[in-house]
A and B are shown apart, each in its own frame.
Chain A
Amino acid sequence: MTSSGARIHIDGVGKQFGALRVFENIELEIGEREIVSVVGPSGCGKTTLLRCIDGLVETTEGEIRIDGTKVVGPPRGVAVVFQHFGLFPWKTVYENVAYGLRLAKASKAQIAESVQRHIELVGLTGFEKAYPYQLSGGMQQRTGLARALATDPHVLLMDEPFAAIDAQTREILQFELLRIWESRPMSMVFVTHSIEEAVLMGDRVVVLRGRPSSIHEVIETGLPRPRTRDVFSTPRFNEVREQVWSLLMHEAEQAERELQEVR
């Protein structure tokens, strides 16, 4: 645990929408150079939790602090990569990547340098003038990633970033993301519904469970970095994966049983 170097502090956080209690008692710390995966069944609020961390959604209870400051709205130095890519269709790849920098009033020189560097980083050189509709899902998400990274964030929040992408491209992007992270480690919260992805990406895997959901367990993956494709065949990987799987399956089976009783 890296509590001494923790960047994000999530303290007794709960969220309620009207009468619906989504999650409660979330206590978590995320270090400066760490990837924490959050995995759980649909509707467990993992996406909502991510939005709470970024201050896009207000918590009903508890408090989130990033670098000691309480989160009340999207803080500086935090960038989000969205499942739906969130690219502006009327902006070219270049303009989309430059968006965050423009908003932060960076100088023209800074923008030109950073944007070009990050477009290269995600492997989209040559596509600067393309519009989103001309790009595949994978390329759009690379653009979204470049946009987030261009602002040089020290926290990266990934909201099921590869869920809308085909399986082969997804695997390529996962390892690209890992490679990029290795070159500039930061706090990353990686939300996903894929157990394998959660174990692959994370130093720790947070399993959300229950209705309302809460942190059922936090598992240290203990897998070496840098991660390569070999990791899939290591015994440790499978062990962790099975562990998470059984935790979640139990919940899924329970839900199924409840459904049967209703019928």
Chain B
Amino acid sequence: MTTSSERLRGSLVSVAGLIVGAGIWELVGRHTQQSSFAPFSKTISALWGMTKSGQLPRALESSLELFGAGLGIAIVLGFFIGLLLARMRTLRIGLEPYILMLYATPMFALIPFILSLFGFEFRAKVIVVALFGIWPILINTLEGARSVNLDLLEVARSYRSTEPKLWRHVIIPYTLPYTMTGVRQGIARSLIGVIASEYLLAATGLGNLILTYTNQFDAAHVLAAVLVITLVATLLMMLGRAIENYFARWKAGV
């Protein structure tokens, strides 16, 4: 029950907080060595420099390309395998514990294994990113497809629905909100996968920027790269939430 003036005040406080944060950043930066930290102003100028030189846009493009490809595969495979497992009971029972175990394992640990099978380059990194992102999508889709309301299945039967139509009109629309929740989590995980594969496999993109400038003890540029990653990540998370909400809009009270 916040009034609009309260909300305005609240937003101002948040903005003030941001300005104060930037101010602290600036102050601390001025009193530390440039090999370990940089003030806000220097970080911004480093950011600008990288943008102008094209280094940042190239790195961004490379990382986003990897992200898109890997997440895309994760979504498609996760969705279809999730649906498949919902339909085939024995297969699901058999695979369930292994899927849950993989969900709980840091996929980072599998990167050297993937490396030995698929090499260093783009193909291997896409596989890594897909592996990071697929588990929540698969598991959420599976849970959703399994939990379809029995009443609604009966309604479909009473209208003599064929199997394909059952999937199209009932099961898939019901499952999509669950899948999108998984996709939201998958976005976060795939992003980690992008950075991890850029660290461990062929260094490209934003991960490479961080590593390179760290090796040069250039804190300003490292901070700039981290800032960019944070911005991209925040935007992607907002996108993920928006998608999730859009697909759940027929649920009561959304």
When A and B assemble into the complex, do they touch directly, with CB atoms less than 8 Å apart? yes
Interface residues of A (CB under 8 A from B): 54, 56, 73-74, 76, 79-80, 82, 84, 86, 88-91, 99-100, 102-103, 131-133, 151
In the complex, what distance in Å separates the CA atom of A16 from the CA atom of B204?
68
In the complex where A76-B160, A133-B253 touch, is A90 in contact with B173 (Cβ < 8 A)? Answer: yes
Most B Cβ at <10 Å: residue of A54, A79, A90, A151: A90
In the complex, what distance in Å separates the CA atom of A80 from the CA atom of B160?
11
- Closest 7 interchain pairs by CB? A133-B252, A86-B155, A90-B173, A90-B250, A80-B158, A131-B250, A100-B159
- Contact status B250-A99, CB under 8 Å: no
B154 at interface by CB-CB < 8 Å: yes
In the complex, what distance in Å separates the CA atom of A74 from the CA atom of B157?
7
- Contact status A103-B151, CB under 8 Å: no
Kindly identify, within residues 222 to 254 of chain B, every residue whose CB is under 8 Å from any CB belonging to chain A: 249-253
- Contact status B154-A73, CB under 8 Å: no
- Contact status A103-B173, CB under 8 Å: no
- Contact status A89-B250, CB under 8 Å: yes
In the complex, what distance in Å separates the CA atom of A131 from the CA atom of B173?
14
Most B Cβ at <10 Å: residue of A79, A80, A88, A131: A88
Q: Whose C-beta in chain A lies nearest to the C-beta of B254?
A: A133
Interface residues of B (CB under 8 A from A): 151-152, 154-155, 157-162, 165, 169-170, 173-174, 249-253
- Min CB distance A180 to B, Å, is 19
In the complex where A88-B169, A88-B173 touch, is A79 in contact with B158 (Cβ < 8 A)? Answer: yes
The main secondary structure of chain B at its interface with chain A is: helix
Cβ contacts under 8 Å, A76 to chain B: 160
In the complex, what distance in Å separates the CA atom of A91 from the CA atom of B176?
13
Cβ contacts under 8 Å, A131 to chain B: 249-250
- Contact status B174-A90, CB under 8 Å: yes
Q: Whose C-beta in chain A lies nearest to the C-beta of B160?
A: A74
Cβ contacts under 8 Å, A89 to chain B: 250-252
- Min CB distance B157 to A, Å, is 6
In the complex, what distance in Å separates the CA atom of A88 from the CA atom of B155?
9
In the complex, what distance in Å separates the CA atom of A89 from the CA atom of B254?
13
When the two chains form the complex, which single residue of B154, B160, B253 contacts A86, counting CB atoms closer than 8 Å?
B154
- Min CB distance A185 to B, Å, is 22
- Contact status B250-A56, CB under 8 Å: no
- Contact status B251-A99, CB under 8 Å: no
When the two chains form the complex, which single residue of A86, A100, A102 contacts B152, counting CB atoms closer than 8 Å?
A86
Cβ contacts under 8 Å, A56 to chain B: 154, 157-158
In the complex where A99-B169, A133-B252, A133-B253 touch, is A88 in contact with B158 (Cβ < 8 A)? Answer: no
- Contact status A73-B252, CB under 8 Å: no
16 A–B contact pairs at CB < 8 A? Answer: A56-B157, A56-B158, A80-B158, A86-B152, A88-B155, A89-B252, A90-B174, A90-B250, A91-B169, A100-B159, A103-B160, A103-B165, A131-B250, A132-B250, A133-B250, A133-B252
In the complex where A90-B174, A90-B250 touch, is A103 in contact with B155 (Cβ < 8 A)? Answer: no
> Apart from A56-B157, A73-B157, A131-B249, what are 19 other A-B pairs with CB-CB below 8 Å?
A54-B158, A56-B154, A73-B160, A74-B157, A74-B158, A74-B159, A82-B151, A82-B155, A86-B155, A88-B170, A89-B250, A89-B251, A91-B173, A100-B159, A102-B165, A103-B161, A103-B162, A133-B253, A151-B159
Cβ contacts under 8 Å, B165 to chain A: 102-103
Cβ contacts under 8 Å, B170 to chain A: 88
In the complex, what distance in Å separates the CA atom of A30 from the CA atom of B250?
40
- Contact status B151-A84, CB under 8 Å: yes
Cβ contacts under 8 Å, B252 to chain A: 89, 133
Cβ contacts under 8 Å, B249 to chain A: 131
- Min CB distance B70 to A, Å, is 29
